[in-house]
Amino acid sequence: MNTTLLTALEGSKRAEAVRSAASILRDGGLVAFPTETVYGLGAASSNQAAVRKIFAAKGRPSGVPLIVHVTDIELASRYVQGVPESASVLARRFWPGPLTLVLPRTAGVSLAITGGGETVAVRAPAHDVALALIGELGEGIAAPSANRYNALPSVRAKHVLDGLGGLIDGVLDAGRCPGGLESTVLDLTTSLPRVLRRGAVTIEQLRELIDVDEAGQGSRAPLTVEGQWLSVVEPSVLAGLVPAAERVGVLVRGDAPAMSPAGATVVVRRMPAGAADYAAELYDTLHKLRDAGCTRVLVEALPGDGSWDAMRDRLFRLATSTVR
Ligand code: AMP
Ligand code: MG
C-alpha cells in the first residue's frame, strides 16, 4: 500500500488536504492526523472494518480500546449514554484539550472500538486540523496513537511514516504536535471518577471541578528506573552507566556532567527546565537520538513534585516497555 502524504501546513492547501483525508476515511481507509498531543491513527468510527484495520496496522492487541475523537460534547453525546453533569463541567473547562472521558457506550459504538467493553473513551482534540477533519467527516474518528504497538509515539508526520508507512492510507502533515504528552484518561463510570492514565491535565486541575478517587491516582512512578533502551537515572551516576563501545543518548535538564567514557560516543541533549516544555520536546528528541543510532538513552531523573508526575509516569512506561 502507498501511504499518501497530505500536506496540511498553514495556508490554502490545508482545507484541500483535510478534504482528501476525510474522503479516505469515508471510503474506509486509515489516516494519521495531528492533535495537540501526538499524531493519532484514525478510522471513521462507524466503520467497523476500518476500525479493525487500525489494530492490524499497529500490531496492537484487540483488547486495548481506542479513543473516539469528537469536535465537542454534542458530538460526543452520540457515542455515550447520557452526558453526566461531571462530563459537561469537565468538557466546558478542558475541551478542546488533552482530557479523555470514559463513559458508558451507546449501542452504535462497536466493540472493536471499546476493546470488547461496555464503556467508550471520548475527547475533543485542541488542534485546528484535527477538528477540521472531524467536522468534514461529520462523525467521530476512532484513533489510538499513530505508532506501531510499543513504539515511540509520533509527533511529526515523518515519525508516522517511519513506523506505519506502507501500512496506512495517508498522513495529514501539520508539522510537529505542540503538546507531546498523551491525554489524561479519566473514568467517569465509577462512583468516584478515576484517573486511568496521567497526562497533560493534572489531578489537581480536575479536583478544582470534581471529586477524584485517591486510589485512582495509582502509585507514583519511581524517580529512577533502568530499562532496555531507555533508563532514568540520577545525574551522579550518569557517567558511570555509559557503556564502552556504544552510542548513548543522554538527556539532561541542567548542565551536562563531564563524561568521556572510553570507547563510547555520547550524544547530549539539553532539555527544557519546565515540565510543559520538557513534555513538548521529549518524543521528538527520543526519535532524533534513535535516528542518530543511539543504542541506549539515559535520562536525568526528573523533579519529584506533582507537576512532573505525568512526565515521570510516561518515562517509566517507556523504560519498562520494549520501545526502542
Ligand atoms: P493510545 O492513544 O494509543 O494510548 O490508545 C488509547 C488509550 O485510551 C488506551 O491505551 C486506553 O488507555 C485508553 N482508553 C480508550 N478507551 C478506553 C476505555 N473504554 N476504558 C479505559 N481506557 C480507555
Ligand atoms: Mg499509544
Question: In order of start, what are the domains of the chain with their CATH numbers?
Answer: 4-207 (3.90.870.10), 230-319 (no CATH)
Distances from the Cα of 111 to the Cαs of 47, 150, 185, 221, 231, in angstroms? 12, 22, 19, 31, 36
> Best mutation site among 60, 79, 100, 190 for ligand 1, i.e. most ligand atoms within 8 A of its Cβ?
100
Cα 15 to the center of its chain, rounded Å = 25
- The predicted pLDDT at position 181 comes to 85
Residue of minimum CA distance from atom 14 in ligand 1: 65
- CB 246: neighbour CB atoms within 10 A? 15
> Best mutation site among 58, 183, 196, 283 for ligand 1, i.e. most ligand atoms within 8 A of its Cβ?
196
- In degrees and rounded to multiples of 5, residue 22 shows phi and psi of -65, -35
Residues 233-243: tens digit of each pLDDT: 987 777 777 77
- The predicted pLDDT at position 262 comes to 72
Residue of minimum CA distance from atom 11 in ligand 1: 65
- The predicted pLDDT at position 29 comes to 98
Residue carrying C-alpha cell 461529520? 138
Cβ neighbours for 1, distance < 8 A, ≥ 6 positions apart: 166, 167, 168, 169
Answer yes or no: are the C-beta atoms of 119 and 29 closer than 8 Å. no
Give me 102's grid cell. 470514559
- The predicted pLDDT at position 216 comes to 56
* Positions of the chain with pLDDT lower than 50, given as ranges: none
Distances from the Cα of 260 to the Cαs of 232, 238, 256, 269, in angstroms? 19, 11, 12, 15
Give me 33's grid cell. 492526523
Give me 116's grid cell. 470488547
To the nearest 10°, report the CA torsion of 143, 278, 237, 218: -50
- The predicted pLDDT at position 291 comes to 94
Q: Which residues neighbour ligand 2 (ion) by CB within 5 Å?
A: 145
Ligand 1: residues within 6 Å at CB?
64-67, 102, 114, 117, 119-121, 144-145, 182, 185, 196-197
Residues 96-123: tens digit of each pLDDT: 999 999 999 999 999 999 999 999 999 9
Cα separation of 17 and 8, whole Å? 6
Give the residue from 132, 136, 133, 122 showing the smallest Cα distance to 170.
Answer: 133
Cα separation of 100 and 42, whole Å? 16
